[in-house]
Structure 1
Amino acid sequence: MAEIDYSDDSIRSLDWKEHIRLRPGMYIGKLGDGSAYDDGIYVLLKEILDNSIDEFVMGSGRTIEVTVTDKKVSIRDYGRGIPLGKVIDCVSKINTGGKYDSKAFQKSVGLNGVGTKAVNALSSSFSVQSYRDGRTKKAEFEQGVLINDQPEMETTQRNGTAVVFYADDTIFRHYHYIPEFVESMIWNYVFLNSGLTINFNGTKFFSERGLYDLLTRNTDVETIRYPIIHLKGDDIEVAMTHGQQYGEEYYSFVNGQHTTQGGTHQAAFREAVVKTIREFYKKEFDASDVRASIVAAISIRVQEPVFESQTKTKLGSQNIAADGPSVRTFINDFIKKALDDYLHKHPADADALLKRILQSERERKDIAGIKKLANERAKKASLHNKKLRDCKIHFEDTHERKQDTTLFITEGDSASGSITKSRDVQTQAVFSLKGKPLNCFGLTKKVVYENEEFNLLQHALNIEDGLDNLRYNNIVIATDADVDGMHIRLLLMTFFLQFFPDLVKAGHVSILQTPLFRVRNKKETIYCYSDEERQRAIQKLGNKPEITRFKGLGEISPEEFELFIGKDIRLDPVILSKEQPIKNLLEYYMGKNTPDRQQHIIQNLRVEVDFIGEEPAPEPVVEEVLLEE
C-alpha cells in the first residue's frame, strides 16, 4: 500500500464561512428539507429570532415581525439595534457579539457568537440592517461573502434590527417551510415571554399566562384529571397536570430555548415530582406510577448555560450559575416547596392526583405478567429478529450522524427487500410487517404486549419506558400508494397515537413519498411524485417518452430506490392539529362506522387512472379508504 504524503502542504486553514459551509452539521445539526421540525432551515430561523428575543428579555422591543413567504425569511425587531459600527462584524466574524459580558446578557441563549454567522454563511442571500438613534446601516452578503456595504445614513425608522435571508438551496435541497412547525416555534417564544407579541405572516401570537397557556394549547383539556398546576419562582416556571394518555410528555426550556432532548433540568424535574409526591402522600409509590400520563412544562433561566451541541436541544449545565446551586438542587428545592404548598391548599386536586396514581398502579400490575412474558419473547426474538434489519448508528449514540438514524416500516417482503438493498446500513434500518397490523383503537396497552408484531416494533424503537432511549430519530412509514397501503398507514398511525402520542408530537413520525411515475427517453429520466409533475416531465422530454406507473414499492428496483431514500428523500411529517384532540380524531377515522364518516368517504373518493404512454387505460381505478370495524 502506497504511503500517503503528510507534510506542511497537507495542512489547510479554512476561513469562517468555508468551514461552516463544509461542516454545516456542526453548527445547525442535520440539514433536511423542512419536513422535520428540527431540520436546518428552522434552526436558521431560530438563530435570528433568538437575538430578537434576547433584546426583549433585556427590556427592549415588545413586538417582533416575522414573515416567511416561499423561501424568503424576514425578521424585524424593535430592540436597541446592533451598534452601527459593528453591523458587519456581528454577522460575519466568529466569536464576535455582545453577549460575552454576563452583566449585559446574564441569561441569554446565544452566547458563543456563532448562530447569526452560520445563517449568513448558509444563505444564498443575507441582508442585515440596523436602526439606531435616527441612523441606519445595511450590509448584504451572498454565501457569507460581503457584496454590498452601504454607508450610514439618516432614518425615521424605530430602533431595532431587520434581517432577510434565503437559505442556500444548494445545501438545503428541495426545502420548504411547513407553517405548523414555524407556528409551534413562535408559540413557544410567546409562552416563555409574557408581554411579547410576535406577528407571523399577519397573525398575532401573544400569551398572558405563559406555560399555563402552553399546556392548555397542547393538551386535550377535556381529559385532564385535575386543573393545571401553575407554579412560578425566580428563574423558574412550571405547569403540570395528568391526563388519560399513555407515557410522559414534557416541554422543557432553558433561557427561552426549547430543549427538545431534555437535559439536566428535565431529569431533575422528573425526579423532584416523584420525591415531593411520595413525601406529600407519605407512600413510596413506584416512580413510573407517579409520572404515568403526566403532561408538564418547565422553564428555567441559567447563567451561561452549557448545551451538548450548537443546536442547543439538550442542557448539559450542572449549575444555575458559577457560584450558584446545582440545577438538580435548585429545581428540587423549588418543587418540594411550591408543589407541596399547592397540594395542601387544593385538597380536591390532591385527591384527583392520588386517584390517577392509584389507577396507574392498578394498570401496571394488571399487565405485569403478560409484559414480563412478552419482554422475554422479544429478547429471544431480538437475537434473530427477521422483522428488523438494523443499522449500525442509533439515535442515543454520540455519533455526529445520529440525527439521520431512520427506521423504515414497510409492508411485505418485496418492499422491504428493495429498501434493505438500497439503504445506508450506517443509519437506516428496516422493520417489515407481515400484513395489516391490528386496529388497536380503543384497546388498552395490554395489546402492545399480547400482539407479537406490536411488541417487536416497540422493542425495535426502544420506547417502552419513554423516549429517552429512542433508537431512531426518524420513524418512516413506507407503504404502497394504494388502498391497502393507505389502510396500513392509518393502522400504524393509530398505534402510535393511541400508545405513544409523544413520539408523534415530538415530530419523529413521517410518511415516505416515492415516485408515482417514471418518465424517460434515451437521454434523461425524470421521477414524478404527482400527476402535475408527470405532465411537466412529458412536456420537457417531448416526442412520446416512455412512462412507467409504480403501483407498489416492490416494483422499484433497489438501484432506483437508493435515489428516493438518500439526500433527496421526500417525507410528509405526521402533524397533529392542536384543534383536534387525539381521542376524537381516532374515534372518527378508526372507530365504528358512522353516517358522518360514510359521507366523508363518499365526498373524498379519488379516481386514479393508469397511463400507458399518454393514453388512459379503459377502466379507472377508484381509490376508497376503507376502515376496519
Structure 2
Amino acid sequence: MASSEPIYDESKIKSLSSLEHIRLRPGMYIGRLGDGTHPEDGVYVLIKEVVDNAIDEFIMGHGQRIEIETTEAGYVQIRDYGRGIPLGKVVDCVSRINTGAKYNDEVFQFSVGLNGVGTKAVNALSEEFVVRSTRDGAFKEARFLKGKLVDELDGSEDADNGTLVRFKADTEVFPADVRIREEFLRKRIQYYSYLNKGLTLKLNGETFFSRRGLKDLLVAEVGEDTLYEPIYFRDKAIEFAITHTTNYGENHYSFVNGQYTNDGGTHLSAFREGILKAVNEYAKKSFQGQDVRDGIAGCVAVKVKDPVFESQTKNKLGNTDVRQPIINTVKTAVVDILHKNEALAKKIIEKVTFNEKIRKELQAVKKEARDKARKVAIKIPGLRDCKYHFGDKNGKGDGSMIFLTEGQSALGSMVSCRSAEFQALFALRGKPLNVFGLKKDSLYKNAELYNIMKALDIEESVDNLRYNKVILATDADVDGLHIRNLLMTFFLYYFEELVIRGHLYVLETPLYRVRNKKETHYCYDDKERNRYLKKLKDPELTRFKGLGEISPKEFGQFIGDQMRIVQVSVDRAGDINKILRFYMGNNTPERKGYIMENLI
C-alpha cells in the first residue's frame, strides 16, 4: 500500500538568499510587525535601524545633523551628513548580510545597529528602498523593489558628504493599513537628542537639540516635582542623572549604545547598586536599597563594546562584565558630588531617612495584612493563575498576561476560553478604592488592592512582575470605565514604573454584534455597526452591555488571536501627578466646571 507521507529528499531542501529569509521570517529581525499603533511595532524598528547608522557616524565624530521626513503616502527619508558609505560598497552594505564596517574597531567603536543586518532588513521589508551615498563630490545611488536591485546610478554632484535612505514599508509583509504615527517617532527622536548632546535632529522640520544630555531628559520627564537639582555625571563610557521626587517607587530610563532598554538589564541594576553604595559610604550608614531608591528618578546611558541583549529587539542588556565597572564609576562619582555639595547631600540623606521611617511604620501594617491574607486562603483570592510567568528562564513567560476583570460573570466567560498556559485572570469585587492622595498603608488595609499587588508580585519591586501584560478588562459602560480609571490610578500612583515600562493595557471588547444567517460581525464603535447594518441583508443587532453577556465561545476570539488591546502610555512622567490630581483628586467643582464647558 502506497504511503501518504510526503517524500523527504534533496528536492525539499531550500537555500534562501539573505533578504528572502528576512522577508520569510521578519519577526526574527524586527520583532512584532503591527500596523503602527504601538511604539514597538516593526515599522519604527525600520526607521530606528537607519537612524542608528546616522547616530553611529555622529558618535565617531562625523556629521552634526540628521534630517528625517515622513509622507502621507508612507515614505520615510533619512539624510545624515557623516562620511557616506564607500561608493564601491553601497549595494553590498544594504543587501548582503554580514557586510559593513561595524566589525572594524578602527572605524566604529560603539554601535547599536543590528551589526550587519539593520539596513538589509529595512531593504528586504520595503516596497521601495533607495540609498544614495555622497563622498567628496561623487555619488552612488541604488534602488531596490522588495529587496531586489532594479537600478544603479553614479556621477558627480556638489553636495555635502553623507548618506540618504528613502523607503516605504511593504504591505505584503506589514498590515495593509500600516501607518507611521508622528507622536511615537517624536519621542524616539527626542531621546536621540538627549543621548547625543550637540547633535541636531530634524523631524518634518521640527528641530531637536540638547545641551545638557540626560539631565535634560530627566527634567523633561519628571518635570518640576523634584526635591533637588539633578546630579549629573558623564565620561567616555557612562552618562547618568539622578534626582528624588515625592512619588512612590522608582523610575528609571536606561540606554545601551543609544538604544532604550525598556526592561533594563545588568547596566541598570549596577547603576542602582552604585547609588546605594555611594549614599551609604557618604553617610557612613547601612541604609536599605528600598529606602535610598523610593521616589528616585534616574537616567543612565552606557557604551558597551560588545553588547549582549536578551532579545532581538534589545530591550534588556545581559552583559555581566559591565556590572562592576558601572558600580565603581557611579559610586565614586556620586560620593565625589555629595562631598562637594553639602546642601544637596543633606536633602538626599533627609529623604532617605524619611523613607526609612515610613517603611518601619508600615511594617506592622504589612504584617497584619499578610497574617489576615494567610488566614483567608493559601492561594490569592480571585486569582486564576497560568503556567508560565514573565521572567521565566525558558523565555516562555514573555507571552504571559493577566486580565483584571470585573465580577464573577465576566470571569465565567473568560475561564473556559483562556489559554491556561499564558493567560491568568483576577476577578475584582465591586469598585476598587480611589487611592490618589492616600498613604501607602492604604494599600495594605484594602484587601482587594493588596491581593492585586500580591498576584502581580510587585510589592518589593516591579522587577518581580509575574506577567508581561497587565490587561484591564472592564465593561464598556459608565461603571466599567470608572473601575478602569480607578485601577489606572492605583498603578500610576503606587507602581508608576510598571506603566512607564509599558506593561499596562486596556482590553477592547465589542459593543455590538451584527449578524444574519450567513455572516457575523463584531463592532467596536457606532461607525462599524452602521456599516454592517447597511451591508447585511436582514441584520440582527445585539448590544453588549457587559463582558458577562458575551458567551465563552464568542469571548475566545476577543482574548485570542484577534485580541485588541491598547497600551496605557505616559508621554511625560512629570505629568502623572497633575493629571491624577485633576481627574481623581478632591477638586469636584473644578472638574464639574470643565465638564460643563466641554460637554457636547
Alpha-carbon displacement from aligned partner over 1:131-189 (angstroms, at most 9, x marks no partner) = 33333333344443x15223324444433222233334454445444443322221211
* 1:442 paired residue among 431, 437, 445: 437
Structure 2 CA distance for partners of 1:592 and 1:457, relative to 1, 3 Å: same
Range that drifts further, 157-166 or 274-283: 157-166
Q: Partners of 1:298 and 1:72 in 2: how far apart? A: 33
Within 5 Å, which residues of 2 pair with 1:516-595?
A: 516-539=511-534, 541=535, 543=537, 545-578=539-572, 581-595=575-589
Alpha-carbon displacement from aligned partner over 1:280-315 (angstroms, at most 9, x marks no partner) = 111111121111111111112122222223222222
Within 5 Å, which residues of 2 pair with 1:155-304?
A: 155-169=157-171, 171-173=173-175, 175-221=178-224, 223-304=225-306
The Cα shift of 1:16 comes to: 2.4
* 2:330 paired residue among 329, 332, 335: 335
Q: Partners of 1:162 and 1:351 in 2: how far apart? A: 52
Contact 1:30 1:403 in 2 (8 A): no
Structure 2 CA distance for partners of 1:397 and 1:166, relative to 1, 3 Å: farther
Alpha-carbon displacement from aligned partner over 1:584-625 (angstroms, at most 9, x marks no partner) = 21111111243321022234447xxxxxxxxxxxxxxxxxxx
Q: How many residues align?
A: 596
**Please, which runs of 5 or more residues in structure 1 have no aligned partner?**
320-326, 607-629
* 1:88 paired residue among 87, 91, 95: 91
Structure 2 CA distance for partners of 1:241 and 1:17, relative to 1, 3 Å: same
Q: Partners of 2:295 and 2:513 in 1: how far apart? A: 47
The Cα shift of 1:6 comes to: 6.5
Alpha-carbon displacement from aligned partner over 1:232-278 (angstroms, at most 9, x marks no partner) = 22322111011111111111112111122222221211111111111
Aligned match of 2:503: 508
Aligned match of 1:609: none
Structure 2 CA distance for partners of 1:460 and 1:91, relative to 1, 3 Å: farther
Q: Partners of 1:412 and 1:290 in 2: how far apart? A: 39
Contact 1:37 1:507 in 2 (8 A): no
Aligned match of 2:118: 115
Structure 2 CA distance for partners of 1:57 and 1:487, relative to 1, 3 Å: same
Aligned match of 1:454: 449
Q: Partners of 1:514 and 1:21 in 2: how far apart? A: 32
Instruction: Determine helix, strand or coil for the equivalent of 2:120.
Output: helix
Alpha-carbon displacement from aligned partner over 1:467-516 (angstroms, at most 9, x marks no partner) = 22222222221211111011011101110111011111222212222222
Within 5 Å, which residues of 2 pair with 1:315-334?
A: 315-319=317-321, 327-334=322-329
Q: Partners of 2:80 and 2:377 in 1: how far apart? A: 54
Q: Partners of 2:181 and 2:363 in 1: how far apart? A: 42
Structure 2 CA distance for partners of 1:564 and 1:15, relative to 1, 3 Å: farther
Q: Partners of 1:288 and 1:580 in 2: how far apart? A: 21
TM-score, normalised to structure 1's length? 0.88
Q: Partners of 2:320 and 2:577 in 1: how far apart? A: 39
Contact 1:74 1:165 in 2 (8 A): yes
Instruction: Determine helix, strand or coil for the equivalent of 2:153.
Output: coil
TM-score, normalised to structure 2's length? 0.92
Alpha-carbon displacement from aligned partner over 1:423-453 (angstroms, at most 9, x marks no partner) = 3333222222121111111111112222111
Letter of the structure 1 residue corresponding to residue 228 of structure 2: Y
Aligned match of 1:56: 58
Aligned match of 2:592: 598
Alpha-carbon displacement from aligned partner over 1:183-227 (angstroms, at most 9, x marks no partner) = 222121111101111112332111110010011001032x32221
Letter of the structure 1 residue corresponding to residue 53 of structure 2: N
Q: Partners of 1:589 and 1:196 in 2: how far apart? A: 39
Instruction: Determine helix, strand or coil for the equivalent of 1:459.
Output: helix
Structure 2 CA distance for partners of 1:394 and 1:121, relative to 1, 3 Å: farther
Alpha-carbon displacement from aligned partner over 1:313-344 (angstroms, at most 9, x marks no partner) = 2222234xxxxxxx233223322332112111
Structure 2 CA distance for partners of 1:522 and 1:133, relative to 1, 3 Å: farther
Contact 2:221 2:573 in 1 (8 A): no
Instruction: Determine helix, strand or coil for the equivalent of 1:484.
Output: helix
Of all paired residues, the percent bearing the same amino acid is 51
Aligned match of 1:465: 460
* 1:494 paired residue among 472, 489, 497: 489
Aligned match of 1:618: none
Q: Partners of 2:309 and 2:255 in 1: how far apart? A: 12
CA RMSD of aligned residues (A): 2.7
Q: Partners of 2:561 and 2:75 in 1: how far apart? A: 23
Q: Partners of 2:278 and 2:140 in 1: how far apart? A: 54
1:15 aligns with 2:10: no
**Please, which runs of 5 or more residues in structure 2 have no aligned partner?**
none
Contact 1:30 1:404 in 2 (8 A): no
Letter of the structure 2 residue corresponding to residue 91 of structure 1: V
Q: Partners of 1:446 and 1:225 in 2: how far apart? A: 23
Structure 2 CA distance for partners of 1:102 and 1:348, relative to 1, 3 Å: same
* 1:41 paired residue among 40, 43, 51: 43
Q: Partners of 2:350 and 2:523 in 1: how far apart? A: 55
